[in-house]
Structure 1
């Protein structure tokens, strides 16, 4: 059972290898960064510090047009669009549906300091490459994989619709303050758009079974899909189905060494209220038991040698 304690991504962590600019004018609608002293009609949208903001009133003269979005004095002037991060920052918010997009490939180069892992979700691509370097020295064997899943049989290979992997977890990165992580998510056809919904870098915390370096998760793990679609009904009896976003909730129990109970309780306190990456097992047959969401749970002392952790993960959209 693995939980990634995330590290907040700041603008200073991005390297020159990142191919999505801080202000991306190539997308639709084009990003335009807020500057003090402009003329802003009600409804005007500007980007700043990784998010879109919308003017809620006309601001054409000083001091109103110098009020910076996102500050304490901006209430009543600028409204932050929580579901609209900038293209560069889209994978680093709390949602999976907000995606960074670029034709051909999406590339991020990050220097986040001391971390030991990465989790990537909601990829729309054919290929994934990850390198971790200190200068010219590789700190890990580079990851270079095709995201197309293997066909279970000949019929599926010839006639079936093969699916692509959308999730990848990297562990055991050596602790190094200068570690530079480069993530490349690419298409086979450079004209086709690549995208990624969630990237988390940080430190993996593992809940292990007593006396074993293996997952302590008990059988009976439940993964529940959530569909936020809804129907809009009309007076004449007709209706339209509005497609909603999807999420995965997971409920599980994990047996751990009783001596680890205090650290497990501390871990739950650290991630309370945060969207974190969860991986129930590293085995391929349990790859569906991975999600991003908020975690609540309890730690129960069962007997002298063991304790039990019960977790409820509400998946993010």
Structure 2
């Protein structure tokens, strides 16, 4: 089990993005008169605000909750909030260039497109030290699936073992056919921390599970008619990690650090276990089983 705690991406870390701010359809806020339903963005907070009560004045929306509702991130910064479903979208290609400081792993969620390319340089404009190009398709289940089955999109990607640099340049690009939609729902960059390191025994036990969850509104009336209002969906995860008893206190302290911090929880990065890679809020309990063994029973509440 590995936990990737995200670095908070700040303005100084985002060197460039192919999506502008304001993006198409977004309007920057300026003092004036607003009617219910008007939407404006603030480039200082990178948030969209919707007017919920008519107002006239010069108080910025983030300081006037009586008249303005925070409606979510701007298009440019949607990939850096804490929700996978809020994508930074474009057509044909979308690209981010980040300068986040020290990190050794990247996890991406909510990917839409056909190809992902990641390039790491040791400094801005420096030498390429890592490059990966990934086709965003799940492997076929069998020969029939390969020949006749529909292509299933790969929506998440995890890259570890990167060499940390003081001022690296990380470029993330998702592309597709001309005019086709592309998007990135969540960019997680940080330091990968294992519950159990490779120098000893232990790890995620068999039987870990992933549980898809929907927040759609489903109503069945008295005649049996079903109506569905589509909303966000997420995936929860349950797992157990066996470890030497002397590792238990460290693992417990690690989980305590991230109890209220959305993070990437990767039970295993082995091929065929994509479902055990979940971005969300983790918790659990430690069992000190014997003098030499402990077991952490954990769960992750996936972020929609």
Q: Deviations over 1:2-43 (max 9, x none)?
A: 111111111221113x10112102xxxx111112x2222233
Q: 1:156-305 alignment to 2 at 5 Å?
A: 156-187=145-176, 189-208=177-196, 212=200, 216-233=203-220, 238-305=225-292
Q: C-alpha distance in 1, partners of 2:290/2:198?
A: 12
Distance 1:39 1:215, change over 3 A: farther
User: Residue in 2 aligned with 1:147?
Assistant: 136
1:113 is aligned, of 98, 101, 107, to 101
**Residue 139 (structure 1) shift:** 5.5
**Residue 224 (structure 1) shift:** 1.3
Q: Indicate conservation of the 8 Å contact 2:269/2:277, yes or no.
A: no
SS at match of 2:19: coil
1:32 is aligned, of 27, 32, 51, to 27
Distance 1:154 1:221, change over 3 A: closer
User: Residue in 2 aligned with 1:311?
Assistant: 298
Matching of residue 46 in structure 1 with residue 40 in structure 2? yes
Matching of residue 6 in structure 1 with residue 6 in structure 2? yes
TM-score of the two chains, using structure 1 as the length reference: 0.88
TM-score of the two chains, using structure 2 as the length reference: 0.91
Q: How many residues align?
A: 301
Q: Deviations over 1:236-262 (max 9, x none)?
A: 664422233221111111012333223
**Residue 235 (structure 1) shift:** 6.5
Matching of residue 75 in structure 1 with residue 70 in structure 2? no
Q: Indicate conservation of the 8 Å contact 1:115/1:201, yes or no.
A: yes
Q: Deviations over 1:113-138 (max 9, x none)?
A: 11111100111111010011113444
Q: Deviations over 1:176-221 (max 9, x none)?
A: 121111000110x121010121111111111227853x76111111
Q: Indicate conservation of the 8 Å contact 1:209/1:255, yes or no.
A: no
Structure 2: 5+ residue stretches without partners: none
CA RMSD of aligned residues (A): 2.0
Q: Indicate conservation of the 8 Å contact 1:215/1:281, yes or no.
A: no
**Residue 89 (structure 1) shift:** 1.2
Q: C-alpha distance in 2, partners of 1:139/1:263?
A: 35
1:96 is aligned, of 73, 80, 84, to 84
SS at match of 2:15: coil
Q: C-alpha distance in 1, partners of 2:150/2:33?
A: 51
Runs of 4+ in structure 1 displaced over 6 angstroms? none
